[in-house]
């Protein structure tokens, strides 16, 4: 199995399962380019700051370091669905325990991303039991 490299620090027992490029959708009119990294413990959205691009152009943006834009544990996800943003029908919508919604436009095949997400969620321990 190919090891996926990321720029953020991993927890001791954490492994990266899947990484896909896309855009973090902050609002209807604002998106940040980045990558969605799916680990066995959490989802991390990492990207580059656009201020380097504004100040120094393409070279400044290429030399800028990646930083974590958003992260949340898999156990906080209450609902996952496929959404839409304009003409793009490959938007991952995560609803969290605190009532917030995180939206991420995904590049590539949706089925591959969804299968990786479902596989990661199989190992997550539920917060409460019905029994």
Domain extents in the chain: 16-124
Task: List, in order, residues 6 or more apart from 21 with CB less than 8 Å away.
Answer: 33, 34, 35, 36, 107, 108
Residue 59 dihedral angles phi and psi, to the nearest 5°: -65, -40
Put simply, whether the predicted model's pTM sits higher than 0.85 gets the answer no
Q: Tell me: the pLDDT tens digits for 11-62? A: 788 888 888 888 889 888 888 888 888 888 888 888 766 666 666 777 766 6
Percent of the chain with pLDDT over 90: 16
Span 16-124 CATH architecture = Roll (2.30)
Q: Is the pLDDT of residue 1 over 60?
A: no
């Amino acid at each position: 199995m190919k090891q996926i490299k990321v720029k953020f620090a991993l927890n001791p027992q954490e492994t990266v399962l899947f990484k896909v490029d896309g855009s973090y959708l902050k609002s209807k009119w604002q998106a940040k380019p980045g990558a969605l990294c799916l680990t066995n413990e959490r989802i991390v959205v990492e990207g580059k700051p656009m201020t380097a691009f504004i100040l120094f152009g393409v070279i400044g943006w290429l030399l800028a370091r990646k930083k974590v834009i958003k992260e949340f544990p898999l156990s906080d996800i209450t609902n996952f669905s496929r959404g839409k943003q304009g003409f793009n029908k490959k938007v991952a919508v995560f609803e969290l325990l605190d009532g917030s919604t995180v939206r991420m436009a995904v590049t590539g095949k949706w089925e591959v991303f969804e299968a990786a997400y479902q596989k990661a969620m199989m190992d997550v321990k539920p917060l409460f039991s019905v029994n």
